[in-house]
A = this chain, B = another copy of it.
Amino acid sequence: MKILENKTISDVPGFKAVGIHSGVKKNGNNDLCVIYSEKPAVAAAVFTKNKVKAAPVLVSMEHIKSENIQAIVANSGNANACTGSKGFDNAVTMTNITAEALGLSAKEVMVASTGIIGFPMPIDKITSGIETACKQLSKIGGESAAKAIATTDTFTKKITVEITIEDKPIYISGIAKGSGMIHPNMGTMLSFITTNINISKSLLQFVLKSSIENTYNMVSVDGDTSTNDTVIVMANGQAENTFLYAMNGHYMQFKEALDFVNKELAKMIAKDGEGATKLIETDVIHAKTIADAKLCAKSVIGSSLVKSALFGSDANWGRILCAIGYADGNFMPEKVDISFKNDVGIIQVAKNGMGIPFDEPLAKSILEQEYVNILIDLKDGEHSATAWGCDLSYDYVKINGDYRS
């Protein structure tokens, strides 16, 4: 597997994309994007588990049933959530206008939105924006599309990898939007992935679903789960590999690459959590079951006390042990070892559930880095899990305490 540094979703053969400013965002930033496959494609998608689902989620949940999906239209600045039947109509209109401009049926278009909840969509701006965007679709538009789904994101999240199946290059490329409200079961998170693999719709859905369990669903920024989360993968088959419909070796190769793409995007989302100053990775190892490992890892990454301590570069391992203690996962408190590590070094701070003397200046210098790994060894089995999150800073409060931020 190769990572292609300067490529993005529109570089995948057969795909075009574009991001423009339609007028929803007041600061003039891109706020609308279209991703388009020139030829019929299959798609798979996963949506928020929040009972309050935004209008575009409800519409896309219907459209994903179509055998062919050829376009995604997405906007930022307004989430079109809690907007009633008018909101639903507006989401349908977004797919209608896109379909008309691209010569598709509306059911072949997926729609997604992110931004403020509970305000009517400025649908006139959006519809004329879609018409403009569809005319500007290009092979170099992926970067502008990535910018168009950002809200409080501080950097563009994208990754592209290449694998080879039957001597044919297969590309998998994704863009994502993260920031606040990211939690297991997907916070306000959009992720759009294009690939040229030739795969069945049902296998694509299966591999996506299993992939998000260990990637996006292991990320927490603030414990909230949004109304709008959507991950979509479009596969246009242009690589012309032998049609992939079973879990053979080629499937495993594709799965590994898709997992990598999703994991990298998930880590970027965690790192760019609202107000975050560092990426926190929690590895729980030697758990009795995978479920135990996951529950413990997520609990640590979700603890406001742990997150505040890490903001202050404070080796407060007691809060970490406390956080796994109130998780639903099983473990034996008197067996737990805890270490912090990254490029600077590794330092063990707790052994068998108790503190041990450690080099405090070294701990501080490890914790002051932009990436910190918390290694929790439960010494109770053979399973492990990883979760990603960020610290809790003054800026998180500032960003989220502003009216209509």
Are A52 and B401 in touch, CB under 8 angstroms?
Answer: no
Q: Are A304 and B84 also in contact (CB < 8 A) when A321-B117, A400-B309 are? A: no
A13 contacts across to B, CB distance below 8 A: none
B316 touches A404 (CB 8 A): yes
The residue that A394 contacts in the complex, of B81, B304, B397, with Cβ under 8 A, is: B397
Taking CB atoms, residues of chain B closer than 8 Å to A51 are: 324-326, 331, 333
**What's the minimum C-beta distance from A376 to chain B, rounded to whole angstroms?**
12
Residue A155 interfacial (CB < 8 Å): no
Is A102 part of the binding interface, using a Cβ–Cβ cutoff of 8 Å?
A: no
CA distance A288 to B224 in the complex (A): 24
Contact present for B82 and A355 (CB under 8 Å): yes
Whether B224 pairs with A319 at a CB distance below 8 angstroms is yes
**Contact: A321 with B392, CB < 8 Å?**
no
Query: Is A290 part of the binding interface, using a Cβ–Cβ cutoff of 8 Å?
Result: no
Give 8 pairs: A residue, B residue, CB < 8 Å, sorted on A. A79-B318, A82-B354, A117-B322, A118-B317, A118-B318, A185-B326, A223-B223, A308-B397
Tell me whether A393 is interfacial, beta carbon within 8 Å.
yes
Cα(A119)–Cα(B316), bound, Å = 11
User: CA separation between A198 and B103, bound complex, in Å?
Assistant: 82
Across-interface contacts of A403 in B (CB, < 8 A): 312-314, 316
A131 to chain B, nearest CB (A): 28
* Structural contact, B116 and A401, CB atoms closer than 8 A: no
With a 10 A CB-CB cut-off, give which of A185, A322, A323, A401 has the most chain B CB atoms.
A322
Across the interface, A50 reaches (CB within 8 A) one of B302, B325, B401, namely B325
Residues of B within 8 Å of A355, CB to CB, are: 82-83, 118-119
| Distance A277 CA – B116 CA, assembled complex (angstroms) | 25
Contacts of A392 in B (CB 8 A): 397, 400
Most chain B CB within 10 A, of A314, A318, A392, is at: A318
Which A residues are within 8 Å of any B CB, using their own CB?
49-53, 79, 81-84, 116-119, 180-181, 183, 185, 222-227, 302-305, 308-309, 311-314, 316-319, 321-326, 331, 333-334, 350, 352-355, 392-394, 396-404
- Residue of B52, B325, B352 near A324 (CB, 8 A) is B52
Residues of chain B within 8 A of A303, CB atoms compared:
223-224
Q: How far apart sit A289 and B404, CA to CA, in the bound complex (Å)?
A: 33
Distance between Cα atoms of A222 and B305 in the complex (Å): 8
Question: Residue A82 contacts which of B181, B227, B353 (CB distance < 8 angstroms)?
Answer: B353
Give A188's nearest chain B residue, CB to CB. Answer: B322
Closest 6 CB pairs of A and B: A117-B318, A312-B401, A52-B325, A308-B400, A225-B326, A118-B318
B50 engages A326 (CB within 8 Å): yes
> How far does the alpha carbon of A226 sit from the alpha carbon of B319 in the complex, in Å?
9
Report whether A350 and B82 are in contact in the complex, using a CB–CB cutoff of 8 Å. yes
A185: B residues at CB distance < 8 A: 326
Q: In whole angstroms, what is the CA distance A354 to B120 when docked?
A: 10
Minimum distance in angstroms from A296 CB to a CB of chain B:
10
Q: Which residues of B contact A331 (CB under 8 A)?
A: 51
- Distance between Cα atoms of A311 and B183 in the complex (Å): 21
Bound Cα distance A350, B119 (Å): 11
Contacts of A334 in B (CB 8 A): 84
Contact B83 A354 (CB under 8 A): yes
Query: Are the C-beta atoms of A311 and B397 separated by less than 8 Å?
Result: yes
